[in-house]
Amino acid sequence: MRRRDVILSLSAVALAACSGEQAKTEAPADGGRAVTDPAAVIRPLYDRYTTPNAEFPEFRDQAPWSNSLWTLLEAMAARSNAINEPILDFDPLIGAQDYQLSNLNVANEAVSEASHAVVRASFGNAGTATEIVYDLIREDDRWKIDNIRGDGWDLRQIAAAPNADAIPRTTSP
């Protein structure tokens, strides 16, 4: 009976791997703490962009934000409300306002176990090649997004800007 459970578990893992799905967490490997694949944290964020009529949660719930990035985003939202003008006028997960995604590829670029990671998402958006780079940190025993960068923009810099005119422009990631 126990062997059957092991075979079923392995079969489920193999099926998930073959279907392109990856588990967010693996079995505890270091003192009971779950080891996660940073790219597996980012991949599901794109599900709503590829599902017709998908509902989008509140911005706070769209991704696992680091505490420091979320603090910056909240302060930006307050400044935006005070000046009655959007500071962030696009969706940083896709680097655009509108979307028609295709050919999504999300891969780890660099991982410093239990510390930092860089994940690159590349896709076509309405025929335009797009790359979004995620900087992740280990916080509260899981990977959280600490910054998002795209062609000519950096979310942390945008969030720290007093208004849309003061947003510093960066080079491509």
Domain locations in the chain? 1-35, 37-166
| pLDDT tens, position by position, 80-119 | 999 998 999 999 999 999 999 999 999 999 998 879 999 9
Fold of 37-166: Nuclear Transport Factor 2; Chain: A, (3.10.450)
143 in Cβ contact with 108 (< 8 Å): no
68 in Cβ contact with 139 (< 8 Å): no
Element (H, E) at 101: strand 101-112
139 in Cβ contact with 32 (< 8 Å): no
| pLDDT tens, position by position, 138-162 | 999 999 999 999 999 999 999 998 7
86 in Cβ contact with 141 (< 8 Å): no
| pLDDT tens, position by position, 20-51 | 333 333 333 344 444 379 999 999 999 999 99
pLDDT at 143: 95
